[in-house]
Amino acid sequence: MSKTVKIITKEVLKDKTKVDYAKLGILEERGEKVTDPVTGEQYFAHSDPKKTSFNAWSKKPWDKEGEASPDLGYNLEVGQRILGSVVTRRVTPYDMPVDPDSGEIRSVDTYSCLVKGDTDNAEEFEIAIERQFRANNHPLPSIEEEAKMEEEKLATGTALLSEKSKVPVAELG
């Protein structure tokens, strides 16, 4: 069954060119249906939800006057759902402000965003992930770039944990 995200907040604003857009806060409830091996009882095991936000414009830059085609989400209301998932991936490191007053920044190498689409179709959803990350100016690194990033982390002792095993990558051999 495909994943969905729930709209939990909506604020309509105007961009610099006076075009309306909606800033939508979303929540992806996570967990899975499990069966008790002793009793056979089925229940839903909850996990920490993922939250993020995205913008949906009232019209596209190329829309002709009077023929607006709003982004998915612009006409939706709080409580409604969108087909998709909040996806987190490793990306090329980028600087993120920590404290605007002091100018302190830190380098991060992960990025999360809403990827709209049918999560049950793995091949098509992976293409949607690549497109959305590229559209958000965080293209996914190539296999070679990923290997180089991992080497740099190993050299500095900050290797990420393997998602499947939760064992430090350096210990995987």
- Single-letter amino acid code for the residue at 77: E
Phi, then psi, of 87 in degrees rounded to 5: -110, 135
Residue 111 and residue 106: Cα distance in Å, rounded? Answer: 14
Both 9 and 94 in one domain: the answer is yes
Q: Of how many residues is the chain composed?
A: 173
Q: Which residues pair with 161 in a beta bridge?
A: 168
pTM for this predicted structure = 0.72
Q: Which domain holds residue 164?
A: 142-173
Tally of structural domains, the chain: 2
Both 77 and 49 in one domain: the answer is yes
Both 147 and 104 in one domain: the answer is no
Tens digit of pLDDT per residue, the chain (173 long)? 789 999 999 999 999 989 899 999 999 998 888 999 999 999 989 899 999 999 999 988 777 877 778 999 999 999 999 999 999 999 988 998 888 888 889 999 899 999 999 999 999 999 999 999 999 999 888 778 777 877 877 777 655 544 444 444 444 44
Both 79 and 113 in one domain: the answer is yes
For 120-165, the pLDDT digits (tens) are 999 999 999 999 999 999 988 877 877 787 787 777 765 554 444 4
Both 122 and 146 in one domain: the answer is no
